[in-house]
Structure 1
């Protein structure tokens, strides 16, 4: 199962020189220390002399409340956490929130003495300056800052001794769905960090589906499920005075009948461009005798950190793939540490002889040495020659690049340059020390996906589940086209800024998920093109792009599109360096759509009017003009 709807409220409480996880862990460190993005967050104490030890910050997590609404594949989640300063001194508190690539924080509020202070979105430097001014006045601000890909930090000051503060966040997320099964995951476990109990934990998840809901199941918690009708369900979970030991996970599946195609559009202002979301599950049967010949390249990390159970599981995953390849497929194995070693110098035809030889090679893979990711990927991709044959690279690592080329974007650029056949790269990150930012970029540029295996999860199981999916792609090299009918061809191309870009593969049970923008409203024809069992096919279906949206029902589409565009801009800045034009566009998008970036921050303070922040500031010109005001942009 891929990584989906994953949001952590592992919360770092920053108290003077004390860093505390919101659900328990107390770690002494430097408040100004840069925190890189791991999964989850690990903070290492720096070497520095302690002039005079201070008593550790005392706190208690009073309540963690999660309210989620799953509308088909879209999750809208409200997270509230209350904490009390049980110590004898005033604290400044900071929380860290890791989010997945597609996650977007909509808003933040700070609750002080029963009064709610909504957040406002400012440029980062403005927010930090204003926050420090309020701190000097000893008032109550809260600041939410972007700290890296999917990681945000919010600061609250002061928290007087004996008092309670509540921080609330709202975020939206497009969940992944496979074979009619939607997976919602909220990382909750803290036992590995602390023994501190949470006074009260509560979850409420409402599910609304256009198709009949068949099953609702939580493998992690004893939940209560209510089913008022075939298309709705409510899931609740409550516990008191307990240390959360497992992440909260919820699955629900829908009927196996013919999956329809849906185009949702949202256009709040006729004078502005609209936004659309395409969800489609083409009814294409994959017959056993139509398996398309393909190439599978396995790239496995055998560095020293893979010692023990990890390398055993990696060998098991390799054996599973080798025992499930088909006659006519091509394959090879690249094992790497400081050096790179291939099973054979070139791709091998799969047969009984090569299978046995490859299994012998797998048995000889042992862990030791450093991690040369760049050389391993270049070696693997250089062996792929046939662009007409679907090619898949299963890339597994548990660490960071430590030898050879170690710069993230250079590794990504080198892999992209070497990938002449448009091979799909599926990256597996094992454990908590992986460079998730690097793996996510490799997967995106490699037309694939990134997945993460926790230390207590089985590598072999994760790889085998993915291989079963790609073993029989229903449609490869899929492209999406939008067109007006013949009477309106003079209007030109209906849509723009469509994501994902380029072509991709569709596997059995999956949906096409495409977002984009449009200028002209009205009926359009959507064409899905791709290769099915080696033969070109196309599917046409009608859709309608709204001229004007009367309500906010589909308003989430605007944010989904903006998240992808902002991600594209950030990748461009990472790759090519600072570009003022791109930064300006990023700030405009971030401010207009309420999405945190390295250049914007939320700020909540006691001078914020709820009436003012509740006003509709969707139009870019109004938001941008507000940035020039001393108090910053109006909020949510």
Structure 2
């Protein structure tokens, strides 16, 4: 079969046009006559209700969309539609049951709603319904979240995006705290000078009532109305060192955040990935962040720096004091970090743990921080073995925090390893402020005030997590549970911890409140922690924890990674299944194997892969390259050669024997597992895949073997129906070997111009 060519820029565009049938909404078709967001925060637990009332102005039935964004940390707990006097409620079910209903709907040619990840802090909720001529529909969505305290404050994020200016647009936020509110402020993209008189702030209320004209005035607003965040920032009074303990209906919640304590000096080791995939902006931002962090060290702190690729490069072999001389020397080391090589995460972490273990200063707090953007490629590469090695080396003595740079990193691996070692994992987004993200995370753990914190509740049962390795200034420990037999007389809370050179012990009475939300706080926190625990376990223990998390999710109607919400619409219409994605997975809708999802935001198109070798790929620099595939009986084997051409005059040819790289007039051949660089292009060869990176673009070519014959399979999964004889990929049938159980798929061909309905040149842009 002949060679085919595809301009990479077109992949996302073509998919969005051929695989999705987007509904084009016009303000002349339907009108949002009311859009209200009401959020009530009680004891740091926020319940937010978004209500949108829409009327179909046309003389015929129209499909009307409800499309909002909610915080990632939230659980959707209720969704309903009111149509012509009827109420249609969403029902939370186990994911398997919901999947079956969804599959049946798909077989009838129906689509599905979804909840998908759309950035650092938000998830997206979409659904739509057909409304008769001149009829109305009301959408009502409720979500719940426990506010997390960082940097000495709580932040409630409200995202307003009604898709058109609305006459009756209101955001109301009410905060009720028994301890009293210390301060309250408003920030975010909607808190601008042009909208200042639309915001009213009192000691416990925030109102945001913009006029129709004002709804087009924010930075991201326009003819389609409001599109931005309103962030309510506040903290509570802290008169009791034990914190707030509230009890209602047999449940309690304890918020513990003492502040009048001396800081504990720390021992911190930063382990920095400098492998080839960190080349460019990532390593530049890492250098900037490291210098910020080094400047923030106190003189009684001790620290160490380790950079690694396939080898380990410690700045010093042991921890040193953070005096001015050592800090300046470390900054010079940071400024000269260069990317290149493979990735030996195992050895780097073991050396970091060893540095802390051999520098055990009494009265200090030790912290290990890893920053990486990829997966282990050399040394020990078995993920479970690495986790086991690290767990043994750390031995519960200090927390491990893993920062995953970008979307190519195996985030679930980092998350599990962090949780196993009393830490957390955080994704660092490859944006212009990535250095500030790194610095911001470090500041969260920069000032330990307590170590070995144990929360004790005599007369309490079904407790959430009660042991914490560190308590940091500006944060908060939250514990919830049941009071045995609801007997307050036998219930005694107590906190034991180490501060600097002495032990602390707190005792306090309980505040009685009439608040049914306390039980939901317990359920929310319990489900969150069970999901974390399930990630760490295996075998029967894992299944038992998963079963309990599922039981509570169903009981309290939380849409979690174990459940989905089934939305049954009027007779004859789609059944929507809404699910919550994990941070470690690429944003995608529930779908049968081999399908794909497209999301469109702000005029851009992004395809989310559902294969098992990577996550989200930026489309920003796709225009700079093109691919050729040399087909060799696709139905039986696959591709035997793939060519990739970059406009920077680099060319990569891949076949089953190795890789050839041409950089201008220079040509080199490579076999085996190593890293190859040519200008801005990096090629990493592994056993069963070849990664090609250029700037923010990463392409994956899988290497498969069937009947002793090797073949290549690009990670492109598309389903347009076209029988043209030239264009993208190839014609015929083939097995998709990029998933565990290979499926037969139709390969296809189509010309770019006919797929796009316009000349190819119309889609060439200077920057994406």
What is the TM-score normalised by the length of structure 2? 0.58
Contact 1:141 1:606 in 2 (8 A): no
Secondary structure (helix, strand or coil) at the match of 2:270 reads: strand
Find the counterpart in structure 1 of residue 185 from structure 2: 216
For residues 44-63 of structure 1, what are the structure 2 equivalents within 5 Å? 56-60=21-25
Report the Cα offset of residue 159 of structure 1.
5.0
Would you say 1:395 and 2:352 are equivalent positions?
Answer: no
Find the counterpart in structure 2 of residue 252 from structure 1: 234
Secondary structure (helix, strand or coil) at the match of 1:341 reads: strand
Find the counterpart in structure 1 of residue 528 from structure 2: 564
Report the Cα offset of residue 530 of structure 1.
1.2
**1:572–1:339: structure 2 CA closer, same or farther, 3 Å change rule?**
same
Would you say 1:530 and 2:497 are equivalent positions?
Answer: yes
Would you say 1:366 and 2:317 are equivalent positions?
Answer: no
**1:226–1:209: structure 2 CA closer, same or farther, 3 Å change rule?**
farther
Report the Cα offset of residue 186 of structure 1.
4.7
Contact 2:450 2:500 in 1 (8 A): yes
**1:60–1:279: structure 2 CA closer, same or farther, 3 Å change rule?**
same
Q: Deviations over 1:138-171 (max 9, x none)?
A: 999978799xx99989785875899997764322
* Counterpart Cα distance in 2 of 1:383 and 1:460: 25
Structure 1 or 2, whichever has the larger Rg, is 2
Report the Cα offset of residue 480 of structure 1.
0.9
* Counterpart Cα distance in 1 of 2:230 and 2:416: 27
* Counterpart Cα distance in 2 of 1:312 and 1:145: 31
Higher mean C-alpha deviation, range 578-587 or range 504-513:
578-587
**1:589–1:365: structure 2 CA closer, same or farther, 3 Å change rule?**
same
**1:601–1:27: structure 2 CA closer, same or farther, 3 Å change rule?**
farther
Secondary structure (helix, strand or coil) at the match of 1:594 reads: coil
Contact 1:426 1:450 in 2 (8 A): yes
Secondary structure (helix, strand or coil) at the match of 2:527 reads: helix
Secondary structure (helix, strand or coil) at the match of 2:518 reads: coil
For residues 516-527 of structure 1, what are the structure 2 equivalents within 5 Å? 516-520=481-485, 521-523=487-489, 524-527=491-494
* Counterpart Cα distance in 1 of 2:387 and 2:411: 13
**1:264–1:439: structure 2 CA closer, same or farther, 3 Å change rule?**
farther
* Counterpart Cα distance in 2 of 1:412 and 1:540: 38
Instruction: Determine which of 107, 123, 137 is the counterpart of 2:94.
Output: 123
Q: Deviations over 1:424-470 (max 9, x none)?
A: 23333444555554444444333334444444453444444454554
**1:401–1:93: structure 2 CA closer, same or farther, 3 Å change rule?**
farther
Secondary structure (helix, strand or coil) at the match of 1:323 reads: helix
* Counterpart Cα distance in 2 of 1:594 and 1:122: 8
Q: Deviations over 1:259-311 (max 9, x none)?
A: 772212343xxxxxx4321012335332xxxx534211112232344334432
Would you say 1:595 and 2:567 are equivalent positions?
Answer: no
Aligned length: 529
Would you say 1:206 and 2:174 are equivalent positions?
Answer: yes
Instruction: Determine which of 452, 472, 479 is the counterpart of 2:454.
Output: 479
Would you say 1:417 and 2:392 are equivalent positions?
Answer: yes
Report the Cα offset of residue 333 of structure 1.
0.9
* Counterpart Cα distance in 1 of 2:139 and 2:344: 42
Report the Cα offset of residue 527 of structure 1.
1.6
Find the counterpart in structure 2 of residue 622 from structure 1: none
* Counterpart Cα distance in 1 of 2:275 and 2:138: 44
**1:425–1:198: structure 2 CA closer, same or farther, 3 Å change rule?**
farther
Q: Deviations over 1:14-56 (max 9, x none)?
A: xxxxxxxxxxx98655xxxxxxxxxxxxxxx8xxxx9xx5884
Secondary structure (helix, strand or coil) at the match of 1:215 reads: strand
Instruction: Determine which of 461, 467, 483 is the counterpart of 1:502.
Output: 467
Contact 2:64 2:130 in 1 (8 A): yes
Contact 2:69 2:159 in 1 (8 A): no
Find the counterpart in structure 2 of residue 11 from structure 1: none
Would you say 1:325 and 2:297 are equivalent positions?
Answer: yes
Contact 2:129 2:569 in 1 (8 A): no
Report the aligned-residue RMSD. 4.6
Report the Cα offset of residue 563 of structure 1.
1.9
Find the counterpart in structure 2 of residue 539 from structure 1: 506
**1:601–1:330: structure 2 CA closer, same or farther, 3 Å change rule?**
same
Secondary structure (helix, strand or coil) at the match of 2:269 reads: strand
Contact 1:530 1:537 in 2 (8 A): yes
* Counterpart Cα distance in 1 of 2:386 and 2:61: 48
Find the counterpart in structure 2 of residue 270 from structure 1: none
Contact 1:275 1:561 in 2 (8 A): no
Contact 1:139 1:158 in 2 (8 A): no
Find the counterpart in structure 1 of residue 354 from structure 2: 382
Contact 1:138 1:158 in 2 (8 A): no
Find the counterpart in structure 1 of residue 156 from structure 2: 184
Would you say 1:295 and 2:286 are equivalent positions?
Answer: no
What is the TM-score normalised by the length of structure 1? 0.69
* Counterpart Cα distance in 1 of 2:111 and 2:85: 13
* Counterpart Cα distance in 1 of 2:462 and 2:92: 25
Find the counterpart in structure 2 of residue 613 from structure 1: none
Would you say 1:604 and 2:567 are equivalent positions?
Answer: yes
Find the counterpart in structure 2 of residue 511 from structure 1: 476
* Counterpart Cα distance in 2 of 1:307 and 1:187: 34
Contact 1:117 1:604 in 2 (8 A): yes
Find the counterpart in structure 2 of residue 69 from structure 1: 40
Q: Deviations over 1:57-80 (max 9, x none)?
A: 233397675432222422212245
Would you say 1:447 and 2:422 are equivalent positions?
Answer: yes
Would you say 1:355 and 2:323 are equivalent positions?
Answer: no
Report which structure shows greater RCO (CA 8 Å, sep ≥6): 1
Find the counterpart in structure 2 of residue 311 from structure 1: 283
* Counterpart Cα distance in 2 of 1:292 and 1:95: 47
* Counterpart Cα distance in 2 of 1:59 and 1:165: 18
Report the Cα offset of residue 173 of structure 1.
1.0
**1:598–1:502: structure 2 CA closer, same or farther, 3 Å change rule?**
same
Q: Deviations over 1:464-517 (max 9, x none)?
A: 44545544422222111122xxxxxxxxxx223433242232223433311223
**1:164–1:365: structure 2 CA closer, same or farther, 3 Å change rule?**
farther
Contact 1:145 1:602 in 2 (8 A): no
Contact 2:289 2:436 in 1 (8 A): yes
